A and B are shown apart, each in its own frame.
Chain A
Amino acid sequence: MKITRTEVEHVSRLARLALSAEELDSLTGEMDAILGYVEQLATLDTEGIVPTAHAVPMENAFRPDEVKVGFTAEQALSNAPDAAESAFRVGRIIE
């Protein structure tokens, strides 16, 4: 097994996904198969190769520090399921 049901449960909680027992079972099987497939990469000899942070051989893509007009508050909120007082309205978050 590349991944256990407990790990899948933990990751689903991190991702805020409420999964049923059946879903956890089937996902554990699917994720295990995916990880097993990717595992083939581990057979390659990567000795002396710098870990790849990016697939495109490119560096230093910059933007000048100049203000660009973006959205108005109305535009920003136009797709929000709920809004009030120029803000996205969500359930109360208590710290």
Chain B
Amino acid sequence: MSQSYETVIGLEVHVQLTTNTKIFCGCSKDFGQTPNSQTCPVCLGLPGALPVLNQQVVELAIKTGLATNCQIAPRSIFARKNYFYPDLPKGYQISQFELPICEHGWLDIDLENGERKRIGITRAHMEEDAGKLIHGDTPQTAGNSLVDLNRACTPLLEIVSEPDMRSADEAIDYLKKLHQIVVYLGVCDGNLEEGSFRCDANVSVRPYDQEEFGTRAEVKNINSFRFIKQAIEYEVERQIDLIEGGGKVVQETRLFDSDTGMTRSMRGKEDAHDYRYFPDPDLVPLVISPEWIEKVRATLPELPEVKRGRFVEELGMSDYDAGVLASDRALADYFDACVALGSDAKSCANWIMGEILRKLKETDTEITDVPITPELLTGLLARIADNTISGKIAKTVFEKMWQNGQSADQIIDAEGLKQVTDSGAIEALVDEVVAANPDQVAEYLGGKDKLIGFFVGKVMQASQGKANPGMVNQLLKKKLTGN
């Protein structure tokens, strides 16, 4: 029955900006500190305290706006959004309402069928975060809520999309793309669990033949990509069931419960959307000159999509490999550094996506802390390319290199791993192996060609892996067949 309904999704993403201090005061915004130890009269909302805008917040907002194809407003203002909740000490949140800093942007997502779809971005505006409520569970606090205002006044950029997505998968594609961009830009640390990147989803359904949108529900409280997908899918089913059963979807805010995978209605929402916005008289208008915008534009890094295209076009990489390497800015920088030092792009990509990524995962290390520098990896690849070592021995060198940070040449010398390419030496080993295995020789000559692998293995073993496998193969065939 869900075939006859179309899903319509719009997303609101709260991106916590990577400043040192809060948006309107000089308090640090470090995560995980003693409750209320990062506060001052401004973020506690004490009478008479005045907010002053952090310039860095504006810079990061412009940066994000440009990277998401938004127009940057030459003039914008701050507004008070009034509501009462214990985590909001002033009784209002300073936000932007009728004149936000960014408007009319878009992002393209790649659909499963290979098509590209443009998702509109209505606006992005700066605002302050609220504090945190902890529900007491100790004898001293049971039946109470505890208010921690360390997070109050933390700078956020709320990015609001158009209702352009038609499935949970499209919504996830858009979110991942946006997440990748803000992390690439360095405007957000991207940590979903700590709440640095939070998503609210506006979900509605409508019969395919209906022009106007159905009534939407806003789902909050979702802190992983997987949960967002779950929450949207649950909500779509709930709404269709409701309509099919003769009911009506109510416009409301619903909370996602990750334990049950369901959404439930939030209590006391009847006045929730009467915020009585008005311009905040404590803050003067923000005017952004074209020169300022261009100055910020000049600091934009190469974005993932552009990088991916460059890897494919200039380095001849496959679309998949290019996508993996471009997905993470630090990883892409590492790869770029290797190529700049003379690494062959294809083999370098293989080593990074194979050994390096495996080892990073195994040792729980970030690419930025990788012990094998681009110089070291490039040195190793050069020794494989000039046949000093085989690909197999290279893995041994790689392990050593990871442990002690020595160069490939140092390790190869110290461990005596240089590949044997002296045909006389290999020939001697081949003779030994052939002489020691007369039965297998007879079988091979009787037509069992596959035994060549057995002989190669024996010779490689005798050389402790150092013989050049190609030469071993060639010499063996020559010896065994006598030509």
Q: Which residues of A contact B (CB under 8 A)?
A: 10, 13-16, 53-56, 58-68, 70-73, 76-77, 84-95
* Known contacts A59-B287, A66-B20; A95 and B40 CB within 8 A of each other: no
Quick check: B37 and A86 within 8 Å, CB to CB? yes
Quick check: A73 and B37 within 8 Å, CB to CB? yes
Quick check: A64 and B39 within 8 Å, CB to CB? no
Quick check: A68 and B281 within 8 Å, CB to CB? no
Cβ contacts A to B, 15 pairs, < 8 Å = A14-B82, A53-B279, A54-B279, A54-B281, A60-B285, A62-B52, A62-B53, A62-B55, A65-B54, A65-B57, A87-B35, A87-B148, A89-B147, A90-B144, A90-B145
Chain B residue contacts of A86, Cβ below 8 A = 34-37, 148
Quick check: B266 and A63 within 8 Å, CB to CB? no
Quick check: A70 and B40 within 8 Å, CB to CB? yes
Q: Is B122 interfacial (CB 8 A cutoff)?
A: no
Q: Is B255 interfacial (CB 8 A cutoff)?
A: yes
* Known contacts A73-B35, A85-B140; A64 and B146 CB within 8 A of each other: no
Quick check: B284 and A63 within 8 Å, CB to CB? no
Quick check: B279 and A95 within 8 Å, CB to CB? no
User: How far is A85 from B133 in the complex, measured between Cα atoms in Å?
Assistant: 13
* Known contacts A63-B26, A87-B146, A92-B145; A68 and B40 CB within 8 A of each other: yes
Number of chain B residues close to chain A: CB under 8 A = 58
Chain A residue contacts of B133, Cβ below 8 A = 93
Chain B residue contacts of A93, Cβ below 8 A = 85-86, 133, 135, 145
Partner of B56, one of A14, A65, A85: A65
Q: Which residues of B contact A (CB under 8 A)?
A: 19-21, 25-28, 34-41, 43-44, 52-58, 77, 82-86, 99, 133-136, 138, 140-141, 143-149, 255, 266-267, 271, 274, 276, 279, 281, 283-287
Partner of A70, one of B39, B86, B135: B39
User: How far is A94 from B143 in the complex, measured between Cα atoms in Å?
Assistant: 10
Task: Kindly report which residue of chain A lies nearest to residue B253, judged by CB atoms.
Answer: A95
Which of A68, A71, A88 gathers the greatest number of chain B CB atoms within 10 Å?
A88
User: How far is A36 from B36 in the complex, measured between Cα atoms in Å?
Assistant: 44
Q: Is the interface of B mostly helix, strand, loop or mixed?
A: loop
Known contacts A60-B285, A62-B58, A70-B41; can you find 11 more A-B pairs with CB under 8 A? A59-B285, A60-B287, A63-B52, A65-B55, A67-B26, A70-B38, A71-B40, A85-B146, A86-B37, A90-B146, A95-B266
Quick check: B53 and A87 within 8 Å, CB to CB? no
Chain B residue contacts of A92, Cβ below 8 A = 135-136, 143-145
Chain A residue contacts of B134, Cβ below 8 A = 87
Task: Kindly report which residue of chain A lies nearest to residue B278, judged by CB atoms.
Answer: A53
Quick check: B146 and A89 within 8 Å, CB to CB? yes
Task: Kindly report which residue of chain B lies nearest to residue A79, judged by CB atoms.
Answer: B46
* Known contacts A73-B36, A73-B37; A65 and B19 CB within 8 A of each other: yes
Chain B residue contacts of A84, Cβ below 8 A = 136, 140-141, 144, 146
Partner of A53, one of B27, B56, B285: B285
Task: Kindly report which residue of chain B lies nearest to residue A50, judged by CB atoms.
Answer: B75
Partner of A61, one of B19, B35, B52, B144: B52
Partner of B284, one of A13, A61, A73, A88: A61
Task: Kindly report which residue of chain A lies nearest to residue B99, judged by CB atoms.
Answer: A53
Chain A residue contacts of B21, Cβ below 8 A = 65-68
Chain B residue contacts of A14, Cβ below 8 A = 82-84, 271, 274, 276
Quick check: B55 and A64 within 8 Å, CB to CB? yes
Quick check: B53 and A63 within 8 Å, CB to CB? yes
Partner of B149, one of A10, A55, A65, A76: A76
B86: min CB distance to chain A, Å = 5
Chain A residue contacts of B26, Cβ below 8 A = 63, 66-68, 70
User: How far is A4 from B86 in the complex, measured between Cα atoms in Å?
Assistant: 30
User: How far is A7 from B274 in the complex, measured between Cα atoms in Å?
Assistant: 12
Quick check: A76 and B138 within 8 Å, CB to CB? no
